[in-house]
Amino acid sequence: MNGAESLLHTLYGNGVDVCFANPGTSEMQFVAAVDRVEGMRCVLGLFEGVVTGAADGYGRMLGRPAATLLHLGPGLANGLSNLHNAMRAQSPIVNIIGDHATHHRALDAPLTSDVEGTARPFSHWVRTSPSADTLALDTTAAVAAARSSPGRIASLIVPADATWTEVTQTLFRAPSADELVVHPDRPAERLIAAAGRMLSEQTATAIILGGHAGRAECLEVAGKIAAATGAKLLAQTYLPRVARGAGRVIVERIPFGIDEALKVLAGFSNIILVGAKPPVAFFAYPDRPGLLLAPGARVLELANVSQDAHYALEALAERVGAQKTPPPLAPLELPDRPSGAITPAKIGLLLAATLPSEAIVIDESITTGRTFLHATRTSHPHDWILPTGGSIGFALATAAGAAIACPERKVIALESDGSGMYMPQALWTHARESLNILSIVFANRKYQILRAEMSKTGVRSVGPKASTLLDIDRPTIDWVALARSLGVEASRAGSMEELSRLVEAGLAHQGPRLIEVVL
């Protein structure tokens, strides 16, 4: 058995059975080994950002890691934007990054780089495995690191000679990853007591949920606490995954826009954080604050991002006597399908009317989708996934991983045309793997978010040269032709009636489809 086979056996033996890959020469032994080692599903992405984004979507839905296979420092660098999102989402991922053979590095070949240095800012755990004999132990440690609370990025760098060399010795029994996983801590009893006292005060209090607190089991307990105490439930702007729709507790998201966020938070004197950090503006602006809380607001961190949010909420519910308080649940209320000219508000209503039960929505609709979350709060039950790190080029790639993780559920990718062009190659993977994804691309032919941000930063007007950096209409991108060239059947909608018909057909189709919505 060579090192590559040892690596694959160890991944599979520790529950990692999907690998999203974009390999190069230094990873050829791994590629060859997948035919000799049973169990690993390998999914090719035509760009490394697709690979890391897919691993993020997979981890968000299953709570366990997939592997990525990346080629040297430049390959890793191509995938870093979606690793940034994955870190912020607390997604478990095991990166396998090939490197030059140990004896070749000193020659400074063109692709030589500091792979560890590239990986560290976007990983919680980094290690270079020195030989075939250490690969099993190092791979086990990588899986354990990825599975440790709250979900981490582990990057294992593997020199090419470690993969082709035969394993000659077993230094000692490699432990199972189960033995090495670090489980979440529980918050101190004093914090639970302090939160209980805060909720007993006759003062406006908000409970802000982040991280894994958006899951259904956490929302239910949080809903009980809010119902029993009168506290307001809020969610950080970009939750990794939030359970929504009929039968789930409605939680209001803190808006992205700084003025809107300040307005939502202005009335709260007490803030309890559960898996969230204090809300801040995405960017600095000349005349606005960075911290979005009301002046003088008291902040209590009940559970930090690495701690057990569900336990914290259960303990707080017991403290305030809310265990038997029924939480307010969203009813099933579907709007009529709108007609006429396409507007963002009407698109939200159409989504609300048509979302199938247990759909998974990957949302990178940015400016077009500002009303979507409000519109769909009483739709059929579903999960909604957001770009936690703000790094764009997210939805199409992450949708691929979510669809592979949950093949029985319909995945709907809501994508903007500008951000979609960062990684349109993901559509090829949708087609190659016959993934059950409906992608809806909102084509306004511009980076509309940047036009809005210009005014917030104090820019009074946008001149003709500046406009060339904000608009993407010359030439116009033909998403229908682009999708078809990558193997995905696509159509274009110019009215709400046409969009309604295409959405209905796309949801009924078992496989990938794309709709371009012209705005």
Cis peptide before 175 (omega within 30 of 0): no
Other Cβ atoms within 10 Å of 223 Cβ, number:
23
pLDDT digits (tens, 9 = 90+) for 191-223: 999 999 999 998 999 999 999 999 999 999 999
- Mean pLDDT of all residues in 333-350: 97
- Average pLDDT value for residue range 336-342: 97
- pLDDT at 170 > cutoff 90: no
Structural domains of the chain in order of their starting residue, each with its CATH number? 3-180 (3.40.50.970), 189-319 (3.40.50.1220), 344-518 (3.40.50.970)
Q: What pLDDT, on a 0 to 100 scale, did the predictor assign at position 457?
A: 84
> How many other C-beta atoms lie within 10 A of the C-beta of residue 445?
15
Query: Looking at per-residue confidence, does 286 or 508 come out higher?
Result: 508
Q: Are 440 and 503 in contact (CB under 8 A)?
A: yes
Least confident of 244-253, 385-394, 469-478: 469-478
pLDDT at 446 over 80: no
Residue 448 has pLDDT above 80, yes or no: no
How sure is the predictor about 172, in pLDDT bands with cuts at 50, 70 and 90?
Answer: very low
What would the pLDDT profile of 382-424 be if each residue is shown by its tens digit?
999 999 999 999 999 999 999 999 999 999 999 999 999 999 9
Q: What is the pTM of this model?
A: 0.96
DSSP string, 323-364: TTSPPPB-----PPPP-SS--HHHHHHHHHHHPPTTEEEEEE
Helix (H, G, I), strand (E, B) or coil at 311: helix
Tell me the mean pLDDT in the region 311-324.
97
**Which pLDDT band holds residue 341 (cuts at 50, 70, 90)?**
very high
Q: What does the pLDDT look like over 358-382, one tens digit per residue? A: 999 999 998 899 999 999 999 999 9
Cα separation, 503 vs 514, in Å, equals 9
Mean pLDDT of the chain: 95
